[in-house]
C-alpha cells in the first residue's frame, strides 16, 4: 500500500507485512510487530478503509490477511521468558505478563508494554463499538485456555472483558488455537490471587498450616 496512490489490486501482499508505503520515493516494507502510529498516518489507504472485524487484525481484508502459517511460539517475543505468557488477540503478539511476588511467576510486563507502545497509539483509527472490547486491546493467558474458558484481560478497560465463549473461540481460531483440544497447564488469575492472599495477607494462616502439618 502506498500513500496517496489509488489501489491497483484487491489482492493482499505478503501477509507478514503491512504493505508498501513511499518515504522519499523509496519503497519500504513494515513488519507487523514494528508498526507505530506514524505508519498508519503515512498510509492513507489503510486509514481511509479502516475497519475492525474478528477475521482481520488492524486492517481490512484487502490489505492484510491472517497468516495461515502462524504458530504459537511458547516464549515472550521480546525477552524470551517461557512462562506467564499472554497472546494479543488482535495481532498475535506473545508477551510475558506483569511480575507478581510469587515464587516461580516470572514476568517483565512485555505484553502490556506492547499494547502501550504499539497498539494504543493507533486505536483512534479503529472503527468499533465503544461497548464491545476490541481484539487488539485484549490478551489471553495461553496456559489457562480450556475447552470452556480462558483468562482474558482488556488493557483498554483494565478489567476482564467477560467475553462470550463463542466470540473467544472465534478469536482464538484466528491464531490456530481450538479451545476444544486445549487444557490448563498454568495458574489462572483467580488461583494466583488466592495464593497471593494466603502467602502475604494471611501469614497467621500459613503459620497455623505449618503447625498442623507437624
CA-nearest of 92, 81, 62 to 174 is 92
Supply the mean pLDDT for the chain: 69
Is residue 104 pLDDT above 80, yes or no? no
Across 172-191, average pLDDT: 89
Across 89-111, average pLDDT: 85
User: Are residues 90 and 186 both part of a single domain?
Assistant: yes
Residues 6+ apart with CB under 8 A from 168: 140, 149, 150, 152, 179
| Percent of the chain surpassing pLDDT 70 | 52
Query: Looking at 99-113, 148-162, 168-182, which range is the least confident one?
Result: 99-113
Is residue 7 pLDDT above 50, yes or no? no
pLDDT at residue 52 in the model: 36
Q: Is residue 10 part of a domain?
A: yes
pLDDT range class, residue 121, cuts 50, 70, 90: low
pLDDT at residue 71 in the model: 60
Q: Is residue 210 part of a domain?
A: no
- Residues facing 152 on adjacent strands: 140
Is residue 70 pLDDT above 80, yes or no? no
User: Are residues 46 and 104 both part of a single domain?
Assistant: no
Residue 151, domain CATH? 3.30.40
**Tens-place pLDDT, residues 16-52:** 333 333 333 333 444 444 444 444 444 444 433 433 3
Is residue 171 pLDDT above 50, yes or no? yes
Query: Looking at 7-11, 56-60, 96-100, 158-162, which range is the least confident one?
Result: 7-11
Q: Is residue 75 part of a domain?
A: no
User: Are residues 62 and 103 both part of a single domain?
Assistant: no
CB atoms within 10 A of CB 189: 15
User: Are residues 125 and 174 both part of a single domain?
Assistant: yes
User: Are residues 104 and 183 both part of a single domain?
Assistant: yes
pLDDT range class, residue 200, cuts 50, 70, 90: confident
Give the count of domains, the chain.
Answer: 2
Domain hosting 153: range is 85-190
Q: Is residue 204 part of a domain?
A: no
User: Are residues 63 and 150 both part of a single domain?
Assistant: no
User: Are residues 61 and 93 both part of a single domain?
Assistant: no
Cα–Cα distance list, 185 to 93, 103, 182 (Å): 20, 16, 9
User: Long-range CB contacts (< 8 A, 24+ apart) of 107-116?
Assistant: 107/81, 108/76, 108/78, 108/79, 108/81, 110/76, 110/77, 110/78, 110/79, 110/81, 111/76, 111/85, 111/86, 111/139, 112/155, 113/78, 114/77, 114/78, 114/88, 115/88, 115/139, 115/155, 116/155
User: Are residues 98 and 170 both part of a single domain?
Assistant: yes
Query: Looking at 56-65, 78-87, 104-113, 189-198, which range is the least confident one?
Result: 56-65
Amino acid at each position: 500500500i502506498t500513500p496517496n496512490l489509488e489501489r491497483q489490486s484487491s489482492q493482499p501482499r505478503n501477509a507478514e507485512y503491512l504493505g508498501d508505503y513511499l518515504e522519499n520515493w523509496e519503497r519500504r516494507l513494515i513488519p507487523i510487530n514494528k508498526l507505530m502510529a506514524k505508519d498508519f498516518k503515512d498510509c492513507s489507504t489503510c486509514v481511509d478503509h479502516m475497519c475492525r472485524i474478528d477475521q482481520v487484525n488492524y486492517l481490512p481484508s484487502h490489505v492484510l490477511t491472517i497468516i495461515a502459517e502462524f504458530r504459537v511460539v511458547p516464549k515472550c517475543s521480546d525477552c524470551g521468558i517461557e512462562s506467564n505468557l499472554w497472546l494479543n488477540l488482535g495481532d498475535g503478539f506473545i508477551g510475558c505478563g506483569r511480575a507478581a511476588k510469587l515464587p516461580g511467576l516470572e514476568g517483565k510486563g512485555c505484553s502490556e508494554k506492547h499494547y502501550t507502545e504499539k497498539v494504543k497509539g493507533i486505536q483512534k483509527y479503529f472503527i468499533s463499538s465503544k461497548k464491545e472490547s476490541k481484539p487488539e486491546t485484549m490478551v489471553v493467558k495461553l496456559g489457562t485456555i480450556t475447552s470452556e474458558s480462558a483468562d482474558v484481560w482488556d488493557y483498554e478497560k483494565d478489567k476482564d472483558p467477560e467475553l462470550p465463549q463463542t466470540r473467544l473461540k472465534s478469536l482464538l481460531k484466528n491464531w490456530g488455537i481450538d479451545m476444544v483440544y486445549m487444557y490448563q497447564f498454568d495458574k489462572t488469575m483467580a488461583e494466583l490471587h488466592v495464593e497471593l492472599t494466603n502467602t502475604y495477607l494471611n501469614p497467621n494462616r500459613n503459620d497455623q498450616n505449618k503447625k498442623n502439618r507437624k
